[in-house]
Amino acid sequence: MKYSREFRNADLARAVAAEIAAITDPKRHYKIMEVCGGHTHTIYRHGIKDLLPEQIELVHGPGCPVCVLPMGRVDDGIRIAERPEVIFTCFGDMMRVPGSKGNLIEMKAEGADIRMVYSPLDALRLARENPEREVVFFAIGFETTAPSTALTLKRAKKEGIENFSVFCNHVNIIPPVRALLESPDLRLDAFIGPGHVSTVIGCRPYEFMAADYGTPCVVAGFEPLDILQSILMIMRQLAEGRCEVENQYSRVVPWEGNLQALEAMAEVFELRPYFEWRGLGFIAQSALKISEAYSYFDAEIRYETPGVRVADPKACQCGEVLKGVLKPHQCRVFGTACTPEHPLGALMVSSEGACAAYYNFGRKTGERVGARR
């Protein structure tokens, strides 16, 4: 924590904020999208918006893996979880994601054996410890979490563990970003790139943003000063008329990524031709499935997963929020029919979802409340 405290130094933050303000053109409006849910969470948790000039608008992108999982896939997961022979394992924030007939917490209360794990390796350990049961891991996440699933499957194969399988819902970051850049109703000035994803894929895959779309991108870390610094780097590019991909998170992110992780992913996964995203619809080659060589561990083959498409509730405007067309509080059901307690839409589910972050941290009566003692 001593290490992270350095990235939360208020004096330094004020200095960076002052520099940002100094190069902000008062006559111009800036729209910057942070792609990653982790960034959205940090921005709200530390009140970063309060430090920025009003000309800078932060738009929250589609980078929360829990939020973008479509309802039909949640239903398929629940269907597997309900099988009496199955121990169904998933990450904590998957437990509240609504399927069409309920969520995993409710299914657990009805008797399904659903257990929260902190890593896919914990799920594999459960399989070793319960040889008479079938252990299924509900894999979700971008390139950040996909390598750990890949390495777990490699280990399961090496150890010959037969009662283990993975319901794979891993997704890729680049296709939805490209879809957003193609979207006519969204005009973005720049992107804050997802740092955790880049620890795996590096910075090179974002170069098309600057080259093909003229949109700068700065790959950023997750501490509040990381985000402020990346905004300053973006503002400098815009002020100087540059358009590049830059790496603010170089203490963690190598430009070329993590080759070992990429190799493991290439061995264990292959691209799906299409995958549905909540709020964004179908996007080509945007998700991973388990490769032929590891198909023994594919829960979609082992169990019946009809893959029925379930439409999101009509009132939800998640798609517009994901694309930055609406702010969370501008959605017609925000905070009324849709709350973290009873999320209708995807973005209200995980604490990294834009609506949940806004609801939990940002919703208040005034921008400045009370004076410091």
Partner 1 sequence: MSGQRTRPRLRFGAPRIDMSHGAGGKATHKLIEGLLLPALENPALTPLSDAAVLPFGEARLALTTDSFVVRPLSFPGGSIGELAVNGTVNDLAVSGATPLALSSALIVEEGLATEVLEREVGAMAAAAERARVAIATGDTKVVERGKGDGLYVITTGVGVADPELELSATSVRPGDRILCSGTLGDHGAAILIARGDLELEADILSDTRPLTPLVEALKGAAGPALRFMRDPTRGGVGTVLNELARDSGLGVVLWEERIPIREVVQGACEILGIDPLYVANEGKLLAVVAPEVADAALEALRSVEGGEEAEIIGEMKEEPARMVVMHTGFGGTRMIDMLVGDPLPRIC
Contact residue for partner 1 among 62, 77, 141, 257 (CB under 8 A): 141
Q: Rule CB under 8 A: is residue 65 a binding residue for partner 1?
A: yes
Q: Rule CB under 8 A: is residue 91 a binding residue for partner 1?
A: yes
Cα dist from 175 to 184, 301, 309, whole Å: 16, 26, 20
For the purposes of burial, counting CB atoms within 10 Å of the CB of 243, is it exposed (0-12), middle (13-18) or buried (19 or more)? middle
Tokens representing 187?
């005009």
Q: Rule CB under 8 A: is residue 350 a binding residue for partner 1?
A: yes
Eight-state DSSP code of residue 362: I
Q: Rule CB under 8 A: is residue 100 a binding residue for partner 1?
A: no
Contact residue for partner 1 among 6, 85, 162, 367 (CB under 8 A): 367
Q: Rule CB under 8 A: is residue 133 a binding residue for partner 1?
A: no
- 341 φ, ψ to 5°? -70, -45
Q: Please report how close the Cβ of residue 5 comes to partner 1 at its closest, in angstroms.
A: 8
Nearest to 57 by CA among 68, 66, 49, 69: 49
Q: Rule CB under 8 A: is residue 298 a binding residue for partner 1?
A: no
Q: Rule CB under 8 A: is residue 351 a binding residue for partner 1?
A: yes
Measured from the CB atom, the residue of 49 and 133 that comes closer to partner 1 is 49
Q: Rule CB under 8 A: is residue 46 a binding residue for partner 1?
A: yes
Contact residue for partner 1 among 27, 158, 251, 368 (CB under 8 A): 368
The length of the chain is 373
Nearest to 195 by CA among 371, 39, 15: 39
Contacts of 366 (CB under 8 A, 6+ apart): none
Place of tokens 């924590």: 1
Binding site for partner 1 (CB under 8 A): 1-2, 4, 8, 10, 13-14, 17, 38, 41, 44-51, 65-66, 91-96, 105-106, 108-110, 116-118, 122, 140-142, 144-145, 196, 224, 340-341, 350-352, 359-370, 372-373
